[in-house]
Structure 1
Amino acid sequence: MDSQFHTSTQLSKETLHGLMARSHYPAVGKFVLLTLVMLASGTVLVLTWSGPVWAWVLALLVFGACSCSAFAALHETAHGTAFGSRSANRVAAFLGGIAHLYPSSLFRELHFTHHRHTHEPGKDPEISLGHKPMPSMLTHPPLYLSWLTGLPLLLFKVMMIIMGALGMPGPIRKQLYPFVRPSQRMAVALESWGVMA
């Protein structure tokens, strides 16, 4: 890889390290607030199901915004950058994974493999299934429309949870989920059961 990196003179090393210092503040407050608003809007969504349309739509919009934010929380905690300790990041990642039907250890395996092989067909799990590149959605309108519904992603996640709960059986893991390292199968199994519970 022929990459060139720019060295900035805008910030000193000491200043940069100070900005990168990990802390529980303000992540704890934001995570608790996000969780409470998501639970409240989800409750309102269920309670207003047959009530006034405006209340249901408002609750749906708030819940949707919280859901997007919960994925951002899952992403940052999987990287270990949201909180000051590894254990706090792991707990928050697990909770964020529940909100997205995504065991955090499974997300971590997929996402870190994506970082190692970004845009490499057959290796980047975000554009591949197993060891094969997925067809481009832009050149297949029916596939594109199906992805807009969210159904393929939901089915993919449900299958990952089920296979994860079964311990990612070797042949299936090698064919469909090659990004899951054998050493992580137990963690994936335990978290998959936790998400299903």
Structure 2
Amino acid sequence: MDHRTIIAALTAKERDHLTAKSDLPGLLQLAGHWGAIILLGWLIAMRIPIWPLLMLPQGILIVFLFTLLHEAIHRTPFRTQWVNEIVARVCSFMIVLPADWFRYFHFAHHRFTQDPQNDPELASPKPESVRQYLVHLCGIPVWWSQIKTLVKNASGQCSDAFVPPKGHPKVRAEARLMMIGYAVVLVLSIYLQTSAPLYVWVLPAILGQPFLRLYLLAEHGRCPYVANMLENSRTTTTTWLVRKLAWNMPYHAEHHAYPGVPFYRLPEFHALIETHLKQTEAGYIRFHAKYIEQMR
């Protein structure tokens, strides 16, 4: 049984319930995620005695804005669409990942999941040796790739196959606005003689990136190159805290099987299709232990 059969078997009432959108759950989770970033950022900026220790949790919160950006480009976390757009732009700016460009990239990933010829996520191979694994986890390649994408898009040289010609002006304007925004932050920091953005935002994000890499590798790493979303994507059992941090995206096979389901209804969808999932893992530590063992 594949994901299409699963969706076809749902009743109209079940489909309507699973895809129903609401602002309240998303706004409550947004308040918690952004509120924690603001609070930790303020404590770091105030240089409280333990402020260096706060940079790592701050960085993890910042880089996991990726999962919120991912949800927002699907336009599912909030019923009000302009809220989805604003949230996507803020997250995009914070993690140097252009929202419009990423929407094209990610929708191609959904259309061609685990298709070696067409899935843009597979353009960067998964690590196959311990050295590649460590380089992957350090996060430097992904930061460099995102900066290059931003500069290329801003210069009007976007050549990515998944971006249609009509989308080129959009991704060019987006990249230029983002670069202007970064320039404004830099100029203001110099003018005000403050290093706060460096310690509140930039360095924490660098420190936090390895944790996002660990999380993302489990989504499709070592999954077969097949079209069935219940088999080419992995659902990972994890703690309440990680599910909250990642906006329920550990239910990744469920998300790929039915992308229209908002994050707060994925646990319900999981309960419906759990017995049909082909790729599951009991925690991220176990996933990576197996991944490393297979590399050896």
Amino acid at match of 1:55: W
Q: Distance in 1 between matches of 2:4 and 2:11?
A: 20
Counterpart residue number, 1:138: 128
For residues 88-167 of structure 1, the aligned pairs below 5 Å read 88-128=83-123, 134-139=124-129, 141-167=130-156
Higher helix share: 2
Pairing 1:1-197 to 2, within 5 Å after superposition: 5-6=5-6, 12-48=11-47, 52=49, 54-57=50-53, 59-128=54-123, 134-139=124-129, 141-167=130-156, 169=157, 173-174=158-159, 177-196=160-179, 197=181
The total of aligned residue pairs comes to 179
CA distance, structure 2, for counterparts of residue 78 and residue 7 of structure 1: 22
Per-residue CA distance 1:83-105 (angstroms, 9 max, x = gap) = 11322211111111112111110
Structure 1 residues 193 and 44, CA, compared in 2 at 3 Å: closer, same or farther? farther
Q: What is the SS of the residue equivalent to 2:116?
A: coil
3-state secondary structure, aligned to 1:28: helix
| TM-score of the aligned structures, taking structure 1 as reference length | 0.77
Q: CA deviation at 1:118?
A: 1.1
1:73 Cα deviation after fit = 1.1
Report how far residue 19 of structure 1 moved. 4.2
Change (3 A) 1:4 1:164: closer
Asked if the contact 2:33–2:61 (Cα under 8 Å) also holds between the matched residues in 1, the reply is yes
Q: How far apart are residue 35 of structure 1 and its match? A: 2.0
- Determine helix, strand or coil for the equivalent of 1:189: helix
Alignment partners' CA distance in 1, 2:79 and 2:7: 27
Is the 8 Å Cα contact of residues 37 and 61 (structure 2) preserved in structure 1?
yes
What secondary structure sits across from 1:121 in the alignment? Answer: coil
Matched AA of 1:6: I
Aligned partner of residue 147 in structure 1, secondary structure: helix
Task: Indicate how the Cα distance of structure 1 residues 138 and 43 shifts in structure 2: closer, same or farther if over 3 A, else same.
Answer: farther
- Code of the residue aligned with 1:188 in structure 2: it is V
CA contact (8 A) 1:102 1:195 kept: no
SS of residue matched to 2:36? helix
Residues 77 and 92 in structure 1, CA contact (< 8 A), matched pair in contact too: yes
* Cα distance change, pair 16–124 in 1 and its aligned pair in 2 (3 A): closer
Two-structure CA RMSD over aligned residues (Å): 2.5
Local SS of the residue matching 2:23: coil
CA contact (8 A) 1:22 1:82 kept: yes
Q: Contact 1:166–1:189 (CA<8 Å) still a contact in 2?
A: yes
Q: Which has the higher contact order (CA 8 A, sep 6+)?
A: 2
Cα deviation for residue 186 of structure 1 reads: 1.6
**Does the aligned pair in 2 maintain the 1:74–1:92 contact within 8 Å?**
yes
Q: Distance in 1 between matches of 2:39 and 2:137?
A: 27
TM-score between the two structures when normalised by the length of structure 2: 0.54
Looking at structure 2, the residues matched to 112 and 45 of structure 1 have their Cα atoms a distance apart, in angstroms, of 37
Unmatched 5+ stretches in structure 1? 129-133
Percent sequence identity is: 26
